[in-house]
Amino acid sequence: PGAPGAQKVPATRARAIRSPLVFVLCRASSLAAREPRRHLREMLRDVRSRRRPGAALVGVLVAEAEPEDAVAPELRLLEALLRTVFGRQAGGPVQAAAYCPGHPASNLTVQAAACRALQAAGRLRPAEGAWERPGLPGLLACFSWGPWSRGKDPDATSPSDPAQGNFQDPEEELALTVVYPNGDCEDPRKGSVACDRVASTPTEPAGDLR
């Protein structure tokens, strides 16, 4: 039998999150009481230990059947929890946002938080050319930006811009992988598969956790 340390290294690498952008999803009920908050804090610490250095992260509060302004207290709790786990990275490469199904404006709120996190992460890694890595322009282009970025100045983007062709239709929704506490994840495009508690892909912003 080999040394225990030799087996631990491959296992750690297998659980590493290699995506440059990670989404962590939680519900308001996860912040309402001490025990659920403790579980969420432990999950965030696990994500912190597994994500790549300089990766951006967005904590997303999923508020069902509630207007966006009604979740402000829970969003502040999420921001405080992110500061506890990630320290000074909170407000920079670590951001928080609220997503309200049925409220299209909240899609833009999450997208804006992702952009702020990516920009802050890029400033922390100037020597590695974070914005020139293959796949990152496509990562940004996969968002359904709609009129938020193009409505004021439709001529701001040249037809020759290679990223322009990657924009989705404004009516499309951002597909997010759903990860449940039992370790099963469900991708709307691929069905249910067994996975770890955190799911992410190197080229898509689909690292979600509940």
Domain assignment of residue 92, yes or no: yes
Per-residue pLDDT band at 65 (split at 50, 70, 90): low
Of the ranges 18-22, 56-60, 70-74, 137-141, the best mean pLDDT one: 56-60
The β-bridge partners of 200 are none
Per-residue pLDDT band at 10 (split at 50, 70, 90): low
**Rounded (10°) angle between helices 72-86 and 34-50:** 50
Tracing tokens 């670590």 back to the chain, one arrives at 94
- What would the mean pLDDT of 182-208 be, rounded to a whole number? 44
Report the C-alpha gap between 61 and 45 in whole angstroms: 17
The β-bridge partners of 95 are 58
pLDDT attached to residue 53: 87
Instruction: Inform me whether the pLDDT recorded for 4 exceeds 80.
Output: no
pTM to 2 decimal places: 0.58
pLDDT attached to residue 32: 87
What's the total number of domains in the chain? Answer: 1
Residue-level length of the chain: 210
pLDDT attached to residue 123: 81
Instruction: Give the count of alpha carbons within 13 A of 67, CB side only.
Output: 2
Domain assignment of residue 209, yes or no: no
Report the C-alpha gap between 9 and 176 in whole angstroms: 29
Per-residue pLDDT band at 101 (split at 50, 70, 90): confident
pLDDT attached to residue 9: 52
Instruction: Inform me whether the pLDDT recorded for 109 exceeds 90.
Output: yes
Domain assignment of residue 12, yes or no: no
Residue 150: what residue type?
A: R
Per-residue pLDDT band at 124 (split at 50, 70, 90): low
Domain assignment of residue 200, yes or no: no
Domain assignment of residue 152, yes or no: no
Strands 178-179 and 184-187: antiparallel
Report the C-alpha gap between 186 and 184 in whole angstroms: 7
Domain assignment of residue 117, yes or no: yes
- What are the strands, taking DSSP E only, across the chain? 21-27, 56-62, 94-99, 178-179, 184-187, 191-194
Residue 128's CB: how many other CB atoms inside 10 A? 12
Domain assignment of residue 207, yes or no: no
Domain assignment of residue 187, yes or no: yes
- Looking at every residue in the chain, the average pLDDT score rounds to 70
pLDDT attached to residue 71: 84
Provide the domain limits for residue 184.
20-147+157-194
Q: Which residue has the higher pLDDT, 204 or 64?
A: 64
